[in-house]
């Protein structure tokens, strides 16, 4: 059981937009603006695509955007492309006394 | 450019220890935290802990306390993660990942650059 809750899968057609949500608690997403999103293609290492809720690292397409409301963070991918098909993980810093960072269970994005 | 190159795959018996290395290049090794994250087969990501390469200080997830050691050798820009008393559920790909924040601040930064991963298989 992951600390952050994500839907298991989402799908969309090329050119469409999709949103992946990530629900946490007042101890993590609700308390900190240290929410990040990672893209992971099969057999590859994760890649940071959003950090500090809304910021994009250099080189990441502006088709990726992040937001947060209360205990829920969201990743929106616009203009879906075939290469966007991957697993997406959210993560948040946490005030838990047992660990510093928590992840979601991941969402599999299928581009139809 | 930043590169993190990890050591090769390992096969270990239950109860043994494994030590994974992560050699950094393309930046000043002692300036940024190094985190370790693992991923069991077909499962999600799990944060294990971080090391401050400048001071050698570290912090671990409670579930690994007593079993994990994180060290570094600044002369060769390499971080190490050693996990002992291995069990079958420790079978996973282990990643090192550079933190976004410098060691002058709290380790609240996301994981910017990742190693290629090291597969550790625990089997009798």
Per-residue pLDDT tens digits for B83-111: 999 999 999 999 999 999 888 888 888 99
Angle at B39 between CA A36 and CA A11, to 5 degrees: 60
Give me B98's structure tokens: 């550079």
Angle at B120 between CA B114 and CA B122, to 5 degrees: 155
Is A102 an 8 Å CB contact of chain B? yes
Neighbours of B99 (CB within 10 A): 23
Point out the residue among A2, A36, A99 whose CB comes nearest to the CB of B110. Answer: A36
Chain A residue with minimum CA distance to B63: A98
Interface of B with A (CB under 8 A): 35, 37, 44-47, 49-50, 59, 61-63, 95, 97, 100, 107-117
Mention every residue, 6+ apart, whose C-beta is less than 8 A from residue B66: none
Neighbours of A100 (CB within 10 A): 19
First to last CA, chain B: 40
> Is the pLDDT score of B13 beyond 80?
yes
Average pLDDT of adjacent 10-residue blocks, chain A of 112 residues: 88 97 95 96 97 96 97 97 98 89 96 94
Residue pLDDT, tens place only, B16-49: 999 999 999 999 999 999 999 999 999 999 999 9
Which residues in chain A have Cβ-Cβ distances shorter than 8 Å to B109? 34, 51
Q: Report CB contact under 8 Å: A47, B114.
A: yes
Greatest pairwise CA separation for chain B in angstroms: 44
Residue-level pLDDT at A5: 96
By C-alpha distance, which of A63, A47, A6, A53 is closest to A31?
Answer: A53
Note whether B110 and A34 are within 8 A (CB).
Answer: yes
Helix and strand totals (H; E) in chain B: 0, 11
Residue-level pLDDT at A96: 84
CA–CA separation, B96 and B25 (whole Å) = 13
Angle at A47 between CA A10 and CA B109, to 5 degrees: 110
CA–CA separation, A82 and A42 (whole Å) = 14
Q: Report CB contact under 8 Å: B100, A51.
A: yes
Q: What is the distance in angstroms between the Cα of A67 and the nearest Cα belonging to chain B?
A: 16
């Amino acid at each position: 059981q992951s600390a952050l809750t994500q839907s298991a899968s989402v799908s969309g057609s090329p050119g469409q937009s999709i949103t992946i949500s990530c629900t946490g608690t007042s101890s993590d997403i609700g308390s900190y603006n240290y929410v990040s999103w990672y893209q992971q293609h099969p057999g590859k290492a994760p890649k940071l695509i959003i950090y500090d809720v809304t910021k994009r690292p250099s080189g990441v397409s502006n088709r990726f955007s992040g937001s947060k409301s209360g205990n829920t963070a969201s990743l929106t991918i616009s203009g879906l492309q075939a290469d966007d098909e991957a697993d997406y993980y959210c993560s948040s810093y946490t005030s838990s006394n047992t660990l510093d960072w928590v992840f979601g269970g991941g969402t599999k994005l299928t581009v139809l | 450019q930043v590169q993190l190159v990890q050591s090769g795959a390992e096969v270990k018996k239950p109860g043994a220890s494994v030590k994974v290395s992560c050699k950094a290049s393309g930046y000043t090794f002692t300036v940024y935290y190094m985190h370790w994250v693992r991923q069991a087969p077909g499962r999600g990501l799990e944060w294990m802990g971080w090391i401050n390469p400048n001071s050698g200080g570290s912090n671990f997830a409670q579930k690994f306390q007593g079993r994990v050691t994180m060290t570094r050798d600044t002369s060769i820009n390499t971080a190490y993660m050693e996990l002992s008393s291995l069990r079958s559920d420790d079978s996973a790909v282990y990643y090192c990942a550079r933190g976004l924040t410098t060691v002058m601040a709290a380790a609240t930064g996301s994981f910017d650059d990742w190693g290629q991963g090291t597969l550790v298989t625990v089997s009798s």
